[in-house]
Amino acid sequence: MTRNRLATLAATAALTAGGGLITAAPASAAVTCASPVWKAQYYGNSAFSGTPKLTACDSVISENYGSGDPAGVTLPKDNFSVRWSLTRDFGSGGPFRFSAATQDGMRVHVDGVRKIDLWKNVSTTARKTVDLTIPAGTHTIRVDYVAWTGVANAGFTYTPRTEAAVDTVKPLAPAGLAAAYDRDTSKTTLRWAASKEMDLAGYRVYRRLSTTSWAKVSGSSPLTSPSFVDATPATGQTFLYEVRAVDKAGRESAGSADVTAVTVDRTGPTAPTALTVTGDAWWATLAWHGPADAARYEVYAAPVATGPFELLGTTTTASYRTDAPMNTARYYRVRALDALGNPSAYAAVTGDGVDRTPPKSPTSLGHVAEAGYTDVYWKQPDGFFEDFDNGGTYHVYRSPGKTLDLAALDRVTCAEESDETSTGGSCHDLGMPAGTYVTYAVAAVDPAGNESALSAPLVVRTGDRVAPGPVTGVRATPRADGVLVSWAASTEDDIERYVAWTGTRQADGTVKWLSSSSCREGTSDPLAVLCGDLPDGETYVYAVVARDRWGNALPPRDPKVTAVEVTELDVRPSVTVTRDWQLGGLGYGTVIGSDQDGPAINWRCDKTAECATVEGYRVSRWNAATKAYEPLHAGLLPAETRLYTDTTAARGTTHFYTLEAVRADGGVAGTHVWSCVFQDRV
């Protein structure tokens, strides 16, 4: 018979002492076999009864006893038994294959439930394979073997099935993940508990920020040990980590519980972008786009591309102005620094010192247009001082019409009366066309010939010496407060105002033009005036002429001017009152506007003797309906009264009044008669 296990069993004592996979102990000793090592119990009967003759630890079940008994233990040649058992954590469980090969009998149990039954005395090796699904968690496998007669051998294996089509169970997520961050090395050491999965292929480590998705950081192949050191980006941010198990079917577990690593910030911002340099005479202006986390920028310059570079200064804005040699190459570079001083990479640009920057455009254009010339003036924004002091100037342009026509633009030759300064200027234009519209624009020009964009256009109606044409639609309408003269608006575009003339017809038929001072404007109608004083039935001639802004106007005697003759209304009272006031001076208006409260009179009483007899005063107004002067107040005004205003007078008519100084006996010490035209001007 063959006894392949005899030598091995004979060495059990030494292996026990040395920590080998197979250990044995006397039957009376308590034996504990660490999972997943089998605990083997040898019995001197086929019923597994009584005290085992030997208890040992086997890493595998693969025995060939031949026709004898196991080494290291005295058993009968026939009719002995062996029981192997183990309890282990199967992790997530899944599909397993149990394979038994035995001569003679073998039974396999899982958690006490029989899964393989080869319980028969045979003369050749019996075999059986069973595919099982083991639930997740801890389970016990027990293998019972009996050698009845003849040759004895026993073999049993259990292995996970790892085909992707069969194994549909994900591994369990790793547990016990812990992270330790080293601020000196900027590395994070991760450790976790080893997986219990029998089909484990390895582990994958993932990292992310709280606002980003998970990214694998452990490489393309699964890790085979439960630890990993990650070179965490030193950005000052908090990173999250998790670990996932991967089985041999390629299935990945859920993530472990997350752990964090708060990093030290040693990462600078991204480099500035779109760096440009613009030359402007003796200056260079650098501009760029900066990263969001930049706290400041450093600007460097060197005369050659290889340096050395000198720090020109720092700035918190994305631009920097520095003096620079004209027409000379200069090399610049800029970098950003965050709040902790971490620098970015450099952005570089080369300047040639050539002034290609035009000045700012002039502003605030205005003008004075007179007959024969136009003065255009403007202001220049700050920053033109150096340019102007070194030969800078202005160009004034003009095109016909009310819009700036670039195709018809002419450069204006400004006369000697013109003036230029660094803050603005004026142009005395003698060459513009008279009596029409032109549009001006002004540009500033630096010593290098760079011309600014044109200013906003200025539309000008140029002056002339031509009087506007005659006014049409002139009408004269007699009213109780004067003569209303109206006319149609002139169609010419340079009218400043209208002048209404009053004249009288002479015996020879000609008109003697008096003046325009008797005509008064209101506020509601710019094409009408109210002329005349007291409407007393006189006949007058009226004419209206247009006057332009340069003072040009036709005289009223010009045959082209329309003259209208009209007779005033006669609104005078039919009763004559004797005026005999000798008591003192008087003051009143004979023509007043509708913006006043009403006709008013003030008086004095200077003659002591006569004034002492005055009991009071009476103010009366002519009533055309009753044809009588009627008092405006009850009783007499007190003797000390010196002013009276008729607030009940109607506008748009002429009123006639008497002022009487009344004695105590009812007699009148003096009477004054006057009229007031209370005009309702338009």
**559-609 tens-digit pLDDT:** 999 999 999 999 999 999 999 999 999 999 999 998 899 999 999 999 999
Helical ranges in 362-480 per DSSP H: 385-389
The first and second tokens of residue 329, run together, are 């190459």
What is 475-567's CATH topology? Immunoglobulin-like (2.60.40)
Provide the token pair at 595. Answer: 């913006």
Q: Residue 552 corresponds to which amino acid?
A: N
d(CA 587, CA 344): 91
Residue burial 145-173, b: 16+ Cβ < 10 Å; e: rest: bbbbebbbbbbbebebbbeeeebebbbbb
What residues pair up with 96 in beta bridges, in sequence order?
132, 160
Whether the link from the prior residue into 26 is cis, omega within 30° of 0, is: no
Q: Which fold, 6-160?
A: Jelly Rolls (2.60.120)
pLDDT tens sequence across 144-192? 999 999 999 999 999 999 999 999 999 999 999 999 999 999 999 999 9
Q: Is the pLDDT of residue 4 over 70?
A: no
Residues 6+ apart with CB under 8 A from 171: 91, 92, 195, 197, 199, 200, 245, 246, 247, 251, 252, 253
Helix residue ranges per DSSP H, 19-126? none
- Using CA atoms, how far apart are residues 433 and 29, in angstroms rounded to an integer? 131
Q: For residue 406, give the DSSP letter.
A: G
User: Do the first three CATH levels of 6-160 and 586-678 match, i.e. the same topology?
Assistant: no
Higher pLDDT, residue 24 or 640: 640
The rounded distance, in Å, linking the Cα atoms of 571 and 566 is 16
CATH of domain 586-678: 2.60.40.10
Summarised one tens digit per residue, pLDDT across range 363-391 is: 999 999 999 999 999 999 988 998 999 99
**CA dist., res. 644 & res. 604, Å (int):** 12
Count other Cβ atoms within 10 Å, centred on residue 659. Answer: 22
For the chain, what percent of residues have pLDDT higher than 70?
96
On whether the CB atoms of residues 463 and 438 are closer than 8 A, the answer is no
Q: Which CATH architecture has domain 363-461?
A: Sandwich (2.60)
Q: What is the CATH number of domain 178-262?
A: 2.60.40.10
Mean pLDDT value across residues 671-681: 96
Per DSSP, the three-state class of 387 is helix
pLDDT (mean) for 619-645:
97
Report helix, strand or coil for 363.
Answer: strand
How confident is the model at residue 290, as a pLDDT? 97
The per-residue pLDDT for range 416-469, each reduced to its tens digit, is: 989 999 999 999 999 999 999 999 999 999 999 999 999 999 999 999 999 999
pLDDT for 10 beyond 80? no
User: Does the global pTM surpass 0.85?
Assistant: no
Topology of the domain comprising 273-351: Immunoglobulin-like (2.60.40)
Tokens of 5: 């296990």
- What is d(CA 477, CA 482) in angstroms, rounded to the nearest whole number? 9
Which residue ranges make up each domain of the chain? Answer: 6-160, 178-262, 273-351, 363-461, 475-567, 586-678
Please give the C-alpha separations between residue 41 and each of 12, 33, 83, 503, 655, in angstroms, as whole numbers: 14, 12, 5, 151, 147
